[in-house]
């Protein structure tokens, strides 16, 4: 059994919010105790830093950047946890550990079913599978890790970036420019916007590859439409759709309110996509539900292979022709899409900093 010295922690406040937050002086608190040892160093891990804005300017950024609680673990070269700690938004944790090499892992906004003290091996946390419903717009699950080599009597300072597990998908503007005069004379109303073909889960450590995605329909949400075969999940629904827009569109009066949604990465590529009537793995889609006259039509935008903490946002979606009667089927040429961000990193990531 390895000898360990007393592990001590210091907690401080540094609230995550719009703009840069100051980190007050920490106050000591003993959180965990183990054996004794001689060669030790000091590391203070704190959650903070400016991440109040995103590359997509919108009112949702303040809730996208919120942290309520977080946990941190120190794993040795064998992958064993030698220390862990938990804190509320803005807490920092200072500890003394044996000199050596470590991987520091931090998870923000973890759900109740993830119990930090039960994590004994690094693979338990990197392979831990979360559900999309573990997230909300004001509490997005985030993960990060960093390597550390600590020498005797050394005090280190290092940053550990944590990244949201979800990707951000949306549209800033919806307009109408029907080419057919008869169609242009009809009343056009944007009823809803939502995401379909969503993968329900994600690992904390890494995204699932396209080959790892289950082909089982039960592993997906909003399969080929707004959950036609799935039981309602209010937590997930709040992340992936707005069903009560009901705005009339005209060439002179587009819908200028941005709509943003949050989904776990679906790694299916456009080349492997399908619109077959029977279920099989396929791309995530941004669907516009539109009433034209007294009939409902659907316009879809295919989302490319997705990655965590990346954004896929259209500046404008322009309705040009009648859409499909089926949300899963597309009508070529029915919409023009102008993208402002397609797979770029979510700007201003949350940071976990190790401070001396």
Residues 214-230 pLDDT 10s: 999 999 999 999 986 66
Confidence of residue 198 (pLDDT cuts 50, 70, 90): very high
Domain residue spans of the chain: 9-165+347-355, 167-345
Other beta carbons less than 10 A from residue 47's beta carbon: 30
Are domains 9-165+347-355 and 167-345 of this chain identical in fold? yes
Evaluate if residue 57 carries a pLDDT over 70: no
Task: Average the pLDDT over 312-339 and give the result.
Answer: 95
Sheet holding 100-108, edge to edge: 81-88, 69-75, 100-108, 142-150, 163-164
Evaluate if residue 348 carries a pLDDT over 70: no
Confirm if 67 and 109 have CB atoms less than 8 A apart: yes
Positive/negative CA dihedral, 128, 92, 120, 97: positive
- Greater model confidence, 356 or 263: 263
Evaluate if residue 346 carries a pLDDT over 90: no
- Greater model confidence, 30 or 73: 73
Q: Report CA dihedral (307, 341, 238, 293) to the nearest 10 degrees.
A: -130
User: Using one digit for the tens of pLDDT, what is the confidence trace for 257-296?
Assistant: 999 999 999 999 989 999 999 999 999 999 999 999 999 9
Collapsing DSSP to helix, strand or coil, 37 comes out as coil
Res 47: pLDDT: 61
Which of the four CATH numbers 3.90.330.10, 2.60.40.3690, 3.40.50.300, 2.60.40.10 does domain 167-345 have? 2.60.40.3690
Res 316: pLDDT: 97
Task: Average the pLDDT over 321-346 and give the result.
Answer: 92
Percentage of the residues of the chain whose pLDDT score is greater than 70: 79
Res 12: pLDDT: 27
Percentage of the residues of the chain whose pLDDT score is greater than 90: 62
Q: How far apart are CA 30 and CA 24, in angstroms?
A: 19
Res 332: pLDDT: 94
Q: Which residue has the tokens 């977080």?
A: 70
Confirm if 89 and 69 have CB atoms less than 8 A apart: yes
Q: How far apart are CA 279 and CA 149, in angstroms?
A: 49
Task: Tell me the DSSP string of 310-330.
Answer: EEEEEEEEEE-S--BSSTT--
Confidence of residue 16 (pLDDT cuts 50, 70, 90): very low
Res 38: pLDDT: 52
Res 17: pLDDT: 32
Evaluate if residue 345 carries a pLDDT over 90: no
Evaluate if residue 22 carries a pLDDT over 80: no
Task: Average the pLDDT over 136-165 and give the result.
Answer: 85
User: Using one digit for the tens of pLDDT, what is the confidence trace for 68-124?
Assistant: 889 999 999 999 999 888 888 777 777 788 889 999 999 999 999 999 999 999 999
Q: How far apart are CA 56 and CA 78, in angstroms?
A: 41
CATH code of 9-165+347-355, in short, is: 2.60.40
Burial of 299 (0-12, 13-18, 19+ CB in 10 A): buried
Evaluate if residue 306 carries a pLDDT over 90: yes
Q: Report CA dihedral (245, 251, 257, 263) to the nearest 10 degrees.
A: 70
């Amino acid at each position: 059994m390895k000898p360990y010295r007393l592990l001590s922690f210091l907690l401080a406040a540094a609230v995550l919010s719009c703009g840069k937050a100051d980190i007050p002086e920490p106050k000591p608190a003993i959180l965990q105790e183990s054996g004794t040892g001689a060669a030790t160093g000091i590391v203070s891990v704190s959650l903070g830093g400016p991440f109040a804005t995103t590359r997509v300017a919108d009112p949702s950024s303040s809730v996208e950047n919120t942290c309520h609680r977080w946990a941190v673990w120190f794993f040795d070269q064998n992958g064993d946890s030698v220390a862990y700690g938990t804190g509320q938004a803005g807490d920092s944790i200072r500890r003394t550990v044996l000199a050596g090499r470590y991987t520091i892992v931090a998870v923000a906004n973890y759900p109740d079913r993830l119990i930090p003290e039960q994590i004994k091996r690094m693979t338990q946390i990197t392979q831990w599978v979360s559900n999309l419903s573990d997230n909300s717009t004001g509490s997005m699950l985030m993960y990060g890790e960093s390597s550390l080599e600590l020498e005797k009597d050394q005090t280190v300072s290092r940053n550990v970036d944590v990244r949201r597990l979800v990707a951000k998908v949306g549209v800033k503007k919806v307009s109408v420019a029907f080419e057919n005069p008869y169609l242009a004379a009809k009343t056009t109303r944007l009823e809803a916007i939502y995401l379909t073909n969503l993968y329900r889960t994600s690992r904390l450590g890494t995204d699932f590859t396209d080959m790892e995605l289950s082909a089982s329909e039960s592993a997906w949400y909003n399969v080929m439409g707004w959950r036609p075969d799935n039981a309602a999940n209010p937590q997930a629904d709040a992340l992936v759709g707005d069903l009560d827009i009901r705005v009339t569109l005209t060439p002179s009066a587009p819908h200028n309110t941005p709509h943003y949604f949050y989904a776990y990465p679906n790694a299916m590529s456009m080349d492997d996509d399908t619109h077959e009537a029977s279920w099989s793995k396929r791309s995530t889609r941004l669907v516009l539900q539109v009433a034209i006259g007294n009939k409902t039509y659907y316009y879809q935008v295919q989302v490319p292979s997705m990655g965590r903490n990346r954004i896929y946002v259209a500046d404008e979606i322009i309705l040009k022709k009648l859409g499909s009667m089926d949300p899963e089927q597309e009508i070529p040429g029915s919409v023009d899409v102008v993208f402002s961000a397609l797979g770029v990193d979510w700007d201003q990531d949350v940071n976990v900093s190790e401070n001396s």
